[in-house]
Amino acid sequence: MKKRWISSLMLSVSMLLAACGSETTAPEQSEGDGATDTAGETDSEQTSNEPRVLTDGLGNEVEIPENPERVLASYLEDYLVALDVTPVAQWSVQNGESIQDYLQEDLADIPTIPHDLPYESVLEYEPDLMIVRDPIEQEMHDQYSEITPTYVLNSSPTEWRETLSEIGEVLGMEEQAQTVLDDYNSKAEEKAAELADSASEESAAAIWMVDSSLFVVHPERSSGAVLYEDLGLEIPEVVNELSGDADWAAISLEELAQMDVDHLFFVNSDGADADLFEDRLWQNIPAVQQEQVYEFGPETSWLYYGPIASEQVMDDVVSSIQE
């Protein structure tokens, strides 16, 4: 304990000294660069005994343990499940009441951890590797790193394929990640071909109702990417016009009523007795009248990202259209 105090003090003193004269700072920086180079060399020459060092999204060099067994990757459980890795705890909000329902077949017995990852909760599960995505502060990263090696993802949250590859790399499971990706892509190709036969040039859109507001999915994100990019359904013009920088863009009932769309995938977070269903505008939508609206609850994977979420959406779409 005493040692740590003293070393912290020495560190702060040396920092102060470094701050005082720029001359002192310059050589220190080049020393730092040198250290990085050496780290790079050891990385390339590494033998199986040496720990792997990866540079994470915050620019930290993270030592990855060999065969991590207690992995914590909150809100990234989809990828772990796809890679057959069991996390030590799973994401939750509202005191564990709200969790990722669509993954519960695989995560049923996994305890929950609050989404903001309090230090003591992380410590409780004693993970040997933690992967996080949310933009966390450097200070928090440093504190987590005291508990366990903590890797902040580089890949964008809207690109699940990149994320899968990166998590595969971090876990030393590149091959498995590639297999999952290949399986998904070939299944998507097959299903897209089937749809091209049975529903050629038909359009679709995913609408999400929550708190009586309507949202339409971005054509390149979440379930939108599955609908249009993977399964090749047509994008209604309105969807392109509305989409901005969010996964889901607000859409009014009037705009929805005018949308020229063959299949409407309706994610309902408000329940069966929502006022919307009584609205004349809704009842007059062509897709509603032709019974080409397919309803899904909030427990489905339509709002999520990841290989499991995307595959479930794909199955939902294909079975709905081919019914």
Partner 1 sequence: MKKIHSAKQVFILTGVLSLLLIGMGVFSLTTGHLSISWNEISETLLGEGSRRNELLLMEFRLPRLLIAVLVGVGLGIAGALFQSVTQNELADPGIIGINSGAGLAVVLFLYFTARSSAIPLLGAISLPFAAFAGGAIAAVSIYIVAWKNGVTPIRLVLVGIGINAGFAALLTMIQLRMSESDFNQVTVWLSGSIWNADWTAVWSTLPWIVTLTPLAFYKSRTLNLLQLGDEMATGLGISVEIERIKLIAIGVALAGACVSVAGGISFLGLGAPHIARKLVGSRHQRFLPVTACIGAIILLISDMIARTILAPSELPVGLVVAILGAPYFIYLLINSED
Residue 235 CB, nearest approach to partner 1 (Å): 27
Q: For residues 60 and 213, which CB has a smaller minimum distance to partner 1 in the complex?
A: 60
Kindly state the tokens that stand for 188.
């998507």
Q: For residues 18 and 253, which CB has a smaller minimum distance to partner 1 in the complex?
A: 18
Which among 302, 301, 308 is positioned nearest to 82, based on CA atoms? 308
Q: Kindly provide the residue ranges of all beta strands, DSSP E only, lying in 103-231, ordered along the sequence.
A: 112-114, 129-132, 150-152, 204-210, 213-217
Site for partner 1 in 257-316 (CB under 8 A): none
Q: How far is CA 173 from the centre of its chain?
A: 18
- Kindly indicate which of the ranges 140-148, 172-180, 280-288, 298-306 contains the residues binding partner 1, using the contact rule CB under 8 A: 140-148
> Looking at 15, 26, 35, 250, which residue binds partner 1 (CB under 8 A)?
15
Residue 114 CB, nearest approach to partner 1 (Å): 5
Residue 33 in contact with partner 1, rule: CB under 8 A: no
Residue 167 CB, nearest approach to partner 1 (Å): 21
> Looking at 21, 135, 244, 271, which residue binds partner 1 (CB under 8 A)?
135
> Looking at 23, 45, 109, 146, which residue binds partner 1 (CB under 8 A)?
146
Cβ atoms of 71 and 81 within 8 Å: the answer is no
> Looking at 36, 46, 138, 319, which residue binds partner 1 (CB under 8 A)?
138
Distances (CA, A) of 171 to 80, 142, 160, 248, 256: 10, 21, 16, 31, 43
Q: For residues 14 and 38, which CB has a smaller minimum distance to partner 1 in the complex?
A: 14
Residue 178 in contact with partner 1, rule: CB under 8 A: no
Residue 12 in contact with partner 1, rule: CB under 8 A: yes
Q: Exposure of 155 by Cβ count < 10 A (0-12 exposed, 13-18 middle, 19+ buried)?
A: middle
- Kindly indicate which of the ranges 101-109, 131-139, 154-162, 309-317 contains the residues binding partner 1, using the contact rule CB under 8 A: 131-139
Please provide the size of the chain in residues.
323
> Looking at 6, 9, 10, 39, which residue binds partner 1 (CB under 8 A)?
9
d(CA 321, CA 262): 10
Q: For residues 121 and 179, which CB has a smaller minimum distance to partner 1 in the complex?
A: 121
> Looking at 41, 63, 126, 295, which residue binds partner 1 (CB under 8 A)?
126
Distances (CA, A) of 308 to 76, 77, 160, 226: 11, 10, 10, 12
DSSP letter at 221 equals: S
